[in-house]
Structures are given as C-alpha cells and as structure tokens.
Amino acid sequence: MPSAISVSIKDETRKVAKLAEKANRKNLGKAGAYVRGVAQRMIKVSPEPSAPGTPPHTRKGRLKKAILYGVERSAQEVVAGPTRSAIGLIGHAHEFGGTEPAKKPRSRKPRKWKLDIGGHGPLRTDGKSVVGVGRLRTAAQIRRAWDIVVSLPEAKGGMAAPKPRHYPPRPFMGKALEISRERLPAMWHNSLKGA
C-alpha cells in the first residue's frame, strides 16, 4: 500500500519580486556609474577641438563633471549623460551633431565713473570693452571718456548675443555604452543569491 504524501506550498512570489526589485536598483546604479566613468575617461581636457566622430574635448573639464546618472525607480531603468542644468544643450549637440542655440546675452551693470577733472574714467576701448582707465586731468580726456561710456554695450543694456554654434557628431555616451555592454550583465550575476 502506498503511503500518504502531504505537500505544503508556500507562495513567496511577492518576497522574491521585492528582492529582485531591490537588487535591480542596486545593480542599475552600478551600471550607471560604470557607463559614466567610461564616458568621462573618453573625454580629454584640451583647448583644441577633437576630430569629428571622436569623443569631444573639454577646455576646463566641465563636460566631464556634468555627466551624471540616476536610477528611475518606477521604470526600473538608469539614465546617464550630461545634465542640462550644468552645461545646457552642448552635450546633445556633441553626441548627435547639431546646433547649440545662442545663449541669452548677459547684462552688465554700468560702471560708476566719475567723469570730472580729478575723477576717473575710461581712456581706451577696443570697441567692446574698456581696456584703459585713468585719472581725468583735462577737458579733452573727459569728452573722450564720455564718448567711450556711451558707445559701450553695457550702456545699451547688455552685450551682443553670441551666435549659435554648429557641431559635427562627436559621440561619447553611445560609445561609452557600447564599450560597457559586455561587462554590464555580470553586475546582475548572482544578485538574489543568499537573499
């Protein structure tokens, strides 16, 4: 006679799903940090532009520092790339090629000159800004100082707006992901082991 067999089933689907979600967030963060690091290492600090089709150069390192990553918890994905708040749209223009829009002109506060005999004021200009300042000793110097002051962009409410700049593609984030692709799956290996 066969003996009676009893089976007990414990459903831990929710527990496993929660553990998988937690492990996924952790590993997405690792993946984002890795891709960011690869992208940062590809960008060189140089005053010269890079060749089209190669990762861009950065003059002072701002582009490298602007690359961040963030895990989107609800979507269970990671996003990495240069932040608009740090460097505007230049990262996008480099990655895909295109035009960086002209920036809003900066306004300057007019300087406070004392345009009288014994006062001080501009003595020379290059047409855009003051390149020489000094004590005003003669009526001719005062007239010259007034002419300079009214001709400066700051007297007209600001500076001339820079023109848009055009860039050929210099991909760096796409290349960083391509380089990282083989190493990323290993970050998830054994994620739930011992959980």
In DSSP notation, 139-170 reads HHHHHHHHHHHHHSGGGGTS-PPPPPEEE---
Lowest mean pLDDT among 29-38, 47-56, 133-142: 133-142
193 domain-assigned: no
Confidence (pTM): 0.63
Instruction: Give the separation between CA 35 and CA 69, rounded to whole angstroms.
Output: 9
Q: What is the mean pLDDT of residues 169-193?
A: 89
Q: Which pLDDT value is given to residue 158? A: 46
Instruction: Provide the percentage of residues in the chain whose pLDDT is more than 90.
Output: 37
Residues 83 and 120 in one domain: no
Residues 67 and 91 in one domain: yes
8 domain-assigned: no
Residues 76 and 35 in one domain: yes
Q: What is the DSSP annotation of the chain?
A: -PPP--------HHHHHHHHHHHHHHHHHHHHHHHHHHHHHHSEE-SSPPPTTSPPEESSSHHHHHEEEEEETTTTEEEEEE-HHHHTTHHHHHHH-EEEPPPPPPP-PPP----STTSEEEEEE-SSSEEEEEE--SHHHHHHHHHHHHHSGGGGTS-PPPPPEEE-----HHHHHHHHTTTSGGGGTTTTTT-
Instruction: Give the separation between CA 91 and CA 109, rounded to whole angstroms.
Output: 31
28 domain-assigned: yes
Q: What is the mean pLDDT of residues 3-20?
A: 78
pLDDT above 80 for 57: yes
Residues 120 and 180 in one domain: no
pLDDT above 60 for 106: no
Residues 112 and 135 in one domain: yes
Residues 55 and 130 in one domain: no
Q: What is the mean pLDDT of residues 94-119?
A: 74
Work out the pLDDT band at 105, boundaries 50, 70, 90: low
Residues 128 and 182 in one domain: no
21 domain-assigned: yes
Q: What is the mean pLDDT of residues 96-112?
A: 69
Query: How many domains does the chain divide into?
Result: 2
3 domain-assigned: no
Give residue-wise pLDDT tens across range 131-172: 778 888 888 888 888 888 777 765 554 445 567 888 999 999
Residues 85 and 21 in one domain: yes
Question: CB–CB of 176/39 below 8 Å?
Answer: yes
Residue 43 domain boundaries: 14-103+163-188
Q: Which pLDDT value is given to residue 173? A: 96
9 domain-assigned: no
Residues 52 and 117 in one domain: no
195 domain-assigned: no
Residues 125 and 184 in one domain: no
Residues 146 and 173 in one domain: no
Nearest to 149 by CA among 123, 184, 182: 123
CA angle 31, 35, 38 (to 5 degrees): 140
Residues 24 and 97 in one domain: yes
Q: Which pLDDT value is given to residue 45? A: 95
